[in-house]
Structure 1
Amino acid sequence: MSRPTETVTILGAGAMGSALASPAADNGHEVRVWGTWLDDELLDAVEQGRSHPRTGVPLDSRVKTYRSGELAEALAEATYVVLSISSDGVMEVLREAAEYLRPGQTLAITTKGFVRSGDRVVTLPEAVAGVLREAAPALDLSLVAIGGPCKANEVAARRPTAAVHACASREVAGRSRALFATGAYAVEVSEDPVGVEVSAALKNVYAVSLGVCQGLAQHGGEPYHDLQAAAFAQAVTEMIRIAEALGGRPETVTGLAGVGDLEVTGLSGRNRVYGTRVGGGEHPYEAMQAMQAAGQTVEGVPAARLACELVDQLIRAGALPDWSGLPLLRQIARLLDGRSPRRGEELSLALARAALPHALPHALTER
């Protein structure tokens, strides 16, 4: 029995946006990729049949491309829309797209991070829902959070990938799975979009600490595998605490969306690379400048600052007792703000105090 054909419009021609076009096209859907005013170079490459500059994989020839001035055309008759814009531009694009969205559509989000909304820090789906209420009150779109250990280049190349598609409505999440799932792109359905989004944002923050351990090893010539493993375990514990405080489920964090995504980001993500540079002795600001100059976004840095604001917000609301259960997040924030030791043994001990808060002698854990 053949699947019904849908029209999928992906807003954002970056790595993940172009990658998700592959499984949707493989399932026989009409797929459109719209690029922002910053994506012209990417579209130039794929329209000329060259590999996508960020994934190294050519865009599927069945996919139609649209330039920034063709937003209305890209969204015309679309049944499923994917927001795949970097966190610093996603709200601007959403406000522009809102007038072309229609009731009954599904809106999926691959962007990761927290967003400041007024005087509050919120998850991206909450911010998206707020923008839609403001810009198009009549719309009542189903929102799907897409997460999991998905490297865009592997999705684009159709290597085995396990993703999570989450929505409060299991029916909508199931429809999303049916639209994208292939033999290579496996989709797990979840009814916990909060847990998926919190995991997706925080794993970028905690991956920085995993990179710091690798930077310490590269700089000093000795491995820090034990410290990295302890940091990984503490990261998962803290992610669970924050997710539960926001209404998410611990099993989401211990599954693909949390542990799985933290693992792959700690192995080969930009946030890990940034942490490696800092762990090797670079000043956090200089490391960021170098990566930005190379066109590499480090989501974990702004996410760390917003996560700290969010924790303070949760403490004020009584959803968290205090900061005592989140020493690793606090240490990462101190490091990124230049308020922590940055080299060798002093840095490793500072990280150890945060990663092993209940195992070290009392004298070492004093802060």
Structure 2
Amino acid sequence: MSRSAGTITILGAGAMGSALAAPAADNGPEVRLWGTWLDDELLDAVTQGRAHPRTGVPLDPRVKTYRSDQLAEALDGATYVVLSISSDGLVDVLRKAAGHLRPGQILAITTKGFVRLGDRIVTLPDAVTSVLHEAAPDGSLDLPLVVIGGPCKANEVAARRPTASVHACGSPDVTERSRSLFATAAYAVEESDDLIGVEVAAALKNVYAIALGICQGLAEHGGEPYHDLQAAAFARAVTEMVRLAGLLGGRPETVTGLAGVGDLEVTALSGRNRVYGTRIGAGEAPDEALRAMQAAGQTVEGVPAALLARDLVDQMIGLGALDSWSDLPLLRQIADLIGGQKPYAGPEELAGALARAALPARSPAER
């Protein structure tokens, strides 16, 4: 064992869960990968020595795999537990895992999005804290939480290509421990104490990547570039991410760094959210594009994130934490388009609507 000896259990055998096993295994600890009841096909492939279906990279042979009915075994003796579950499944999996968690463990999440708990929309760190307190009201499962973000494409992490990540926790000692477990020559780790900033940026960049994808789709549809509109949308996206993260307790420099601008850039270059937006810009209605991608087994995290973000903003307005939507026109445009509040009338009208949201207004009335 190396300086990073311990046992890391990753819950979720999808793209990022399996990818994160690579730098972890390179540092020496025992690494376990547990698959949910939806991951059997993925585990079948990697246990047979084939490439992971989502990353195209074989799983490191040092990683031990566990099926959905082996959750207790996967967590037994673990010192560091990673939740790498989609946002709509995170609470369910954490509730199943809570009975097997123990004081002294470190808990991390790679999940991006927001969660509805009862009648509230909350960030994922808040959701994790609530679920753990629900499982242990005496506070015995108030585990230190690390949020893992940054411009990390799972296939590149799995292939050990140079990657810059952000690990955020309120405790510097825990952040340093997380860095020591995962940092390698290829997988760099920037430490932060801004959990909310990292998590909000991670959730919103998927939403805004849809807008940037729409610009690429408009170019495909008309045969002419929309580079100016895409650049304006990028800048507008960063401004709105800073605004909303700040309202929730995050810092501007987190959004303008790796966790926000860096992650938005890589997501706009490739990824399912960008592809979804491209299909809309090229002429497909949002629900049509989503059905096609779902049929191909492609999850578009930006869709639920956009709808939940819209509800979150409405919630904040209702509580008096925000006056109106005037500072978030691009988020409103994308959420209303996806949610059906603004009918899809084709690429030309969509280009105009996106321009009105992304381009600087000459007066407040023009927003």
Note whether the superposition's TM-score is higher than 0.5. Answer: yes
- Residue-by-residue CA offset, 1:311-367 (whole Å, 9 max, x unaligned): 1122233322211111101111222133145423321111011001325x88xx746
Aligned to 1:233: 235
Aligned to 2:32: 32
Answer whether contact 1:207 1:266 (CA < 8 A) is retained: yes
Aligned to 2:171: 169
Q: 1:206 aligns with which of 208, 224, 238?
A: 208
1:1-367 mapped onto 2 (5 Å cutoff): 2-137=2-137, 138-338=140-340, 339-359=342-362, 366=366
Answer whether contact 1:341 1:350 (CA < 8 A) is retained: no
Answer whether contact 2:9 2:81 (CA < 8 A) is retained: yes
Partner of 1:242, secondary structure, is helix
Answer whether contact 1:143 1:167 (CA < 8 A) is retained: yes
Answer whether contact 1:227 1:355 (CA < 8 A) is retained: yes
Partner of 1:165, secondary structure, is strand
Answer whether contact 2:116 2:122 (CA < 8 A) is retained: yes
Q: Could you state the TM-score of these two structures normalised by the residue count of structure 1?
A: 0.97
Q: 1:147 to 1:210 in 2, by over 3 A?
A: same
Partner of 2:99, secondary structure, is helix
Cα distance between partner residues in 2 of 1:147 and 1:340 = 34
Answer whether contact 1:279 1:342 (CA < 8 A) is retained: no
Cα distance between partner residues in 1 of 2:257 and 2:50 = 36
* Amino acid aligned to 1:53: P
Answer whether contact 1:25 1:31 (CA < 8 A) is retained: yes
- Residue-by-residue CA offset, 1:208-234 (whole Å, 9 max, x unaligned): 000000000001100001100000000
Which blocks of at least 5 consecutive residues in structure 2 are unaligned? none
Cα distance between partner residues in 2 of 1:225 and 1:326 = 21
Cα distance between partner residues in 2 of 1:136 and 1:172 = 22
Partner of 2:165, secondary structure, is strand
Answer whether contact 1:327 1:357 (CA < 8 A) is retained: no
Partner of 1:9, secondary structure, is strand
Count of residues in Structure 1 that have an aligned counterpart in Structure 2 = 364
- Residue-by-residue CA offset, 1:127-147 (whole Å, 9 max, x unaligned): 011011001332120001000
Q: Percent identity?
A: 77
Partner of 2:287, secondary structure, is helix
Partner of 2:327, secondary structure, is coil
Cα distance between partner residues in 1 of 2:289 and 2:260 = 26
Q: Could you state the TM-score of these two structures normalised by the residue count of structure 2?
A: 0.97
Cα distance between partner residues in 2 of 1:131 and 1:280 = 41
Cα distance between partner residues in 1 of 2:164 and 2:361 = 34
Cα distance between partner residues in 2 of 1:357 and 1:229 = 12
Cα distance between partner residues in 2 of 1:337 and 1:100 = 38
